[in-house]
Amino acid sequence: MGGPRLSSTPLPGIGVRYDLTTREQRRLSVVAHRDGARTLNAYQEDDPDACALSVRLTSGEAAALIDAMMPTHHSPNLLSTTELGLVAERIELSSVSHWNGRLLGDTRLRTETGVSIVAVLRRAEAVPSPKPDFRLVGGDVLIVIGTREGVDAAAAILERD
C-alpha cells in the first residue's frame, strides 16, 4: 500500500497528461491542454484502463476546481474547521518578532483574542499546552484554536515587530 504516484506524459500538439495513482490504487488523469483547458478523467476501479468519467473544463472552471481542492481563501496554515465555528491554525513566530525571547503569557493572546495555544512546535520537538512562563523563540510554530476572528487577531499580535 504505497502513497500517491504522479507521472506526466507529453502529448504533442495537445499538451501534457498527468496520471495519478492513489494509495488505494485508483487512477485519475488530467490532460492540460495548450489552450488552458483541462480534461479530468477517472477510471473504473475494477478496470483501470476503462474511463468511468471524463469532464472537459475551461481554464476558469479548472481554476475554480483547484480553489475548491486547495482553497486560496484560507491560509495554508489552516488545520481544520468545525461546524462550531472554530479553526485550528499554525502561526509561525518570526525571528524579528517583538515576542522573540519573551514569555508566552506576555502576549496576552487568550485574554485579548480568546484563542487557546494548544502546542508550540520547535524544530523536531512539540510542547503541548505551553504554560504562560514558556519562552518564545523565533521560528516557533504556535498551534492555536479559536474563532476565525480570534485566530486572525492572534496572528496580528504575534506578527508585531
Query: Which tens digits make up the pLDDT trace of 5-36?
Result: 788 899 998 989 999 888 888 889 999 998 88
Going by pLDDT thresholds of 50, 70 and 90, the confidence category of residue 1 is: very low
Q: How far apart are CA 10 and CA 30, in angstroms?
A: 12
Report residue 106 as a C-alpha cell.
Answer: 506576555
What are the distances in angstroms from CA 37 to CA 10, 34, 72, 134?
15, 7, 20, 52
Q: Which CATH number fits the domain 78-158, given the four candidates 2.70.70.10, 3.30.70.1450, 2.30.30.40, 1.20.1050.10? A: 3.30.70.1450
Picking from 81, 95, 80, 87, the residue whose alpha carbon sits closest to that of residue 141 is 95
Could you read off the pLDDT of 50-91 as tens digits, one per residue? 899 999 998 888 888 877 777 655 555 556 566 678 888 889
Could you read off the pLDDT of 100-150 as tens digits, one per residue? 999 999 999 999 999 999 999 998 889 999 999 999 999 999 999 999 899
At residue 88, the pLDDT reads 86
Instruction: Give me the residue spans of the domains in the chain.
Output: 5-69, 78-158
Q: How far apart are CA 32 and CA 38, in angstroms?
A: 5
pTM: 0.52
At residue 6, the pLDDT reads 82
Number of separate helices (H) and strands (E) present in the chain:
3, 10
